[in-house]
């Protein structure tokens, strides 16, 4: 039976992933009473089945790939990885799938937490089905923020239940490496998990329906990752899709996949890394006139524009603007400021790059793919610039020519590209592909969001001998071309 009197808060946040937690933090800091509703583990996908465990699996792999090529270290790192130790580290970095630490933080920030499945129940109302079988009704004075994230999207193949495929959840939490692993999908999850499990002892077959890996990146990024994956022993195939997939053998312990080119591939497990779906199927969208299962479109203030009254917000993966933790947390800071301003009756400041406008998740989304080599990108690619009709200069440089790169790893292979807006003379896109480039990305992000004139970049002098000298070489290449 529903309880009689709804609990009233200024703000209700559905979903205590990294994004929901940050919305709640900002609204609480602004003096608004806030409740978080969480159906699984506070901390969300990122903490337990995405960023944290995947990077914990990859860090030893990438460090070893670098160290194995540094003179004097080959022998020291020549042994196979200690798989048990890597998996134990992964478990620790996932807090052993226990959210006590997060709950403690939520309490210490002055935020209330209600455990259970939250659903919108009309304007400013949320009903929560608790694990105890009760229904708790919540009412918001000002805002409801939907921060329910995304889950793995599986292709519509027959027999999926019997196939028992891995999604990103199993790929990041598996207790041991399968002997053979088929991975379907050439995006970020596919290539990162191929890199990790191949190094941890699985024989990986990576199936791309595109003609290359990482189709949303500059083509050279996917080419370098393909080269290294093949050197590591992975079977990387392009232009193929799965026609049928089923389990065979004793107890169904073998997966048998027929491909569009007629080939048959077998393995112990199969991972579908084929994109994401919004977690919006069962959150009461129909009670506010929206379609269950849809992504929640917002304007730059993160307000769901299809619902009148500026009380409903969608923040993080569920709005599909930029599916990254850091970008969702950026949106959370903006949404928190917007909710607080509206609650105080203030006018919003919604110009580009202003406190109430989520601008960077359109103009300058940084992302690192933690493969060997790392791929770090922000802003436009050449393909995106062409699609948007932007007139850009494209400047390329071979990072392997840098003294800093050779110091880093004598066999360094890598490439950098920046796109310069011809009219405004500012950088609008950058991609770095090579070992150790992840930490370069912030410099490019500052150049783009700060709209730093290219001529001024000559005065930003990179230290010798570092990989950052790539900035100087890119400027010289542009000047001399």
Ligand X SMILES: NC(=O)c1ccc[n+]([C@@H]2O[C@H](COP(=O)([O-])OP(=O)(O)OC[C@H]3O[C@@H](n4cnc5c(N)ncnc54)[C@H](O)[C@@H]3O)[C@@H](O)[C@H]2O)c1
Ligand Y SMILES: Cc1cc2nc3c(=O)[nH]c(=O)nc-3n(C[C@H](O)[C@H](O)[C@H](O)COP(=O)(O)OP(=O)(O)OC[C@H]3O[C@@H](n4cnc5c(N)ncnc54)[C@H](O)[C@@H]3O)c2cc1C
Work out which of 16, 62, 259, 444 binds ligand Y, going by CB under 6 A.
Answer: 16
What is d(CA 431, CA 75) in angstroms, rounded to the nearest whole number? 33
With contacts defined by CB under 6 A, name the span among 34-42, 88-96, 453-461, 466-474 that binds ligand Y: 34-42
The partner residues of 144 in beta bridges, in order of sequence, read: 12, 312
* Residue 250: count of CB within 10 angstroms of its CB: 6
Identify which of residues 128 and 189 has a Cβ nearer to ligand X in the complex: 189
Closest CA to 94 of 61, 50, 38, 148: 50
Instruction: Decide: is 11 part of the binding site for ligand Y (CB under 6 A).
Output: no
Work out which of 24, 46, 200, 206 binds ligand Y, going by CB under 6 A.
Answer: 46
Secondary-structure breakdown of the chain: helix, strand, coil percentages, each rounded to the nearest 5: 35, 25, 40
Q: How far is the CB of 372 from ligand Y (least distance, A)?
A: 15
Q: How far is the CB of 184 from ligand X (least distance, A)?
A: 5
Residues that bind ligand X in the complex, under the rule CB under 6 A: 155, 184-190, 192, 209-210, 215, 241, 273-276, 323-324, 367-370
Q: How far is the CB of 323 from ligand Y (least distance, A)?
A: 5
Which of ligand X, ligand Y, none does residue 190 bind to, with CB < 5 to 8 Å depending on kind?
ligand X
Instruction: Decide: is 324 part of the binding site for ligand Y (CB under 6 A).
Output: yes
H-type alpha helices, 311-397:
325-343, 360-363, 382-387
Q: How many helices (H) and strands (E) does the chain have?
A: 16, 21
Contact 330, 358 (CB under 8 A): yes
Task: Annotate each residue in 221-260 with x if it binds ligand Y (CB under 6 A) or - if it does not, as one string.
Answer: ----------------------------------------
Which of ligand Y, ligand X, none does residue 184 bind to, with CB < 5 to 8 Å depending on kind?
ligand X
Contact 196, 54 (CB under 8 A): yes
Which of ligand Y, ligand X, none does residue 155 bind to, with CB < 5 to 8 Å depending on kind?
ligand X
Q: How far is the CB of 25 from ligand Y (least distance, A)?
A: 13
Q: How far is the CB of 383 from ligand X (least distance, A)?
A: 14
Identify which of residues 321 and 356 has a Cβ nearer to ligand X in the complex: 321
Q: How far is the CB of 126 from ligand X (least distance, A)?
A: 27
Which of ligand X, ligand Y, none does residue 117 bind to, with CB < 5 to 8 Å depending on kind?
ligand Y
Which of ligand X, ligand Y, none does residue 18 bind to, with CB < 5 to 8 Å depending on kind?
ligand Y
Q: Cα torsion at 33, 38, 44, 47 (round to 10°)?
A: 90
Work out which of 181, 323, 420, 427 binds ligand Y, going by CB under 6 A.
Answer: 323
Identify which of residues 32 and 271 has a Cβ nearer to ligand X in the complex: 271
With contacts defined by CB under 6 A, name the span among 51-59, 72-80, 237-245, 441-449 that binds ligand Y: 51-59
Closest CA to 413 of 373, 451, 464, 446: 373
What is d(CA 172, CA 179) in angstroms, rounded to the nearest whole number? 16
What is d(CA 12, CA 18) in angstroms, rounded to the nearest whole number? 15
Provide the CB-side half-sphere exposure for 206 (13 A, CA). 34
Q: Which helix (H) or strand (E) holds 48?
A: helix 44-49
At residue 25, the 3 state secondary structure works out as: helix
Q: Which of the residues 258 through 287 are near ligand Y (CB under 6 A)? A: 279, 283
- How far is residue 310 from each of residues 12, 245, 303, 338, 343, measured CA to CA in Å? 14, 46, 6, 10, 11
Identify which of residues 152 and 454 has a Cβ nearer to ligand X in the complex: 152
Instruction: Decide: is 94 part of the binding site for ligand Y (CB under 6 A).
Output: no
Q: Which two tokens stand for residue 311?
A: 């009380």
Closest CA to 186 of 234, 151, 244: 234
Q: Which of the residues 388 through 447 are near ligand Y (CB under 6 A)? A: none
Which of ligand X, ligand Y, none does residue 326 bind to, with CB < 5 to 8 Å depending on kind?
ligand Y
Instruction: Decide: is 147 part of the binding site for ligand Y (CB under 6 A).
Output: yes
Contact 77, 64 (CB under 8 A): yes
Identify which of residues 188 and 430 has a Cβ nearer to ligand X in the complex: 188
Which of ligand Y, ligand X, none does residue 37 bind to, with CB < 5 to 8 Å depending on kind?
ligand Y
Number of residues that bind ligand Y (CB under 6 A): 36
Rounded to 5 degrees, what are φ and ψ at 218? -60, 140
């Amino acid at each position: 039976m529903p309880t009689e009197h709804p609990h009233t808060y200024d703000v209700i946040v559905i979903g205590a992933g990294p994004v929901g937690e940050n919305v709640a933090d900002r609204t609480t800091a602004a003096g608004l009473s806030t409740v978080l509703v969480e159906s699984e583990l506070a901390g969300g996908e990122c903490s337990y089945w995405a960023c944290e465990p995947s990077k914990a699996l990859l860090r030893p792999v990438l460090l070893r790939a670098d160290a194995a090529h540094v003179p004097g270290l080959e022998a020291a790192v020549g042994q196979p990885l200690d798989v048990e130790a890597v998996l134990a580290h992964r478990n620790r970095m996932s807090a052993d799938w226990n959210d006590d630490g997060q709950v403690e933080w939520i309490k210490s920030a002055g935020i209330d937490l209600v455990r259970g499945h939250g659903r919108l129940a009309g304007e400013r109302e949320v009903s929560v089905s608790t694990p105890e079988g009760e229904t708790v009704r919540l009412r918001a004075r000002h805002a409801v923020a939907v921060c329910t994230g995304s889950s793995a999207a599986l292709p519509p193949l027959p027999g999926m239940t019997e196939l028992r495929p891995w999604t990103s959840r199993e790929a990041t939490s598996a207790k041991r490496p399968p002997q053979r692993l088929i991975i379907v999908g050439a995006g970020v999850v596919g290539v990162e998990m191929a890199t990790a499990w191949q190094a941890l002892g699985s024989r990986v077959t990576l199936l791309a329906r595109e003609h290359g890996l990482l189709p949303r990146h500059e083509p050279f990024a996917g080419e370098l990752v393909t080269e290294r994956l093949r050197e590591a022993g992975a079977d990387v195939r392009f232009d193929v899709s799965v026609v049928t997939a089923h389990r065979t053998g004793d107890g169904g312990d073998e997966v048998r996949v027929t491909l569009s080119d007629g080939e048959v591939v077998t393995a112990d497990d199969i991972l579908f890394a084929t994109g994401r779906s919004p977690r919006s199927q069962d959150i009461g969208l129909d009670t506010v006139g929206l379609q269950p299962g849809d992504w929640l479109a917002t304007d730059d203030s993160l307000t769901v524009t299809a619902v009148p009254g500026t009380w409903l917000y969608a923040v993080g993966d569920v709005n599909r603007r930029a599916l990254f933790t850091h970008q969702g947390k950026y949106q959370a800071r903006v949404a928190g400021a917007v909710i607080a301003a509206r609650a105080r009756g203030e006018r919003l400041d919604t110009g580009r790059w202003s406190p109430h406008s989520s601008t960077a998740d359109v103009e300058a989304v940084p992302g690192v793919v933690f493969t060997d080599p790392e791929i770090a990108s922000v802003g436009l690619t050449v393909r995106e610039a062409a699609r948007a009709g932007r007139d850009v200069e494209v400047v390329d440089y071979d990072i392997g020519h840098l003294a800093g790169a050779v110091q880093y790893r004598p066999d360094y292979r890598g490439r950098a590209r920046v796109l310069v807006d011809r009219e405004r003379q500012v950088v609008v896109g950058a991609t770095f592909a090579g070992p150790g480039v992840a930490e370069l990305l912030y410099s490019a992000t500052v150049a783009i969001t700060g709209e730093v004139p290219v001529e001024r970049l000559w005065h930003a002098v990179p230290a010798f001998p570092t990989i950052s000298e790539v900035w100087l070489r890119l400027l010289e290449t542009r000047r001399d071309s």
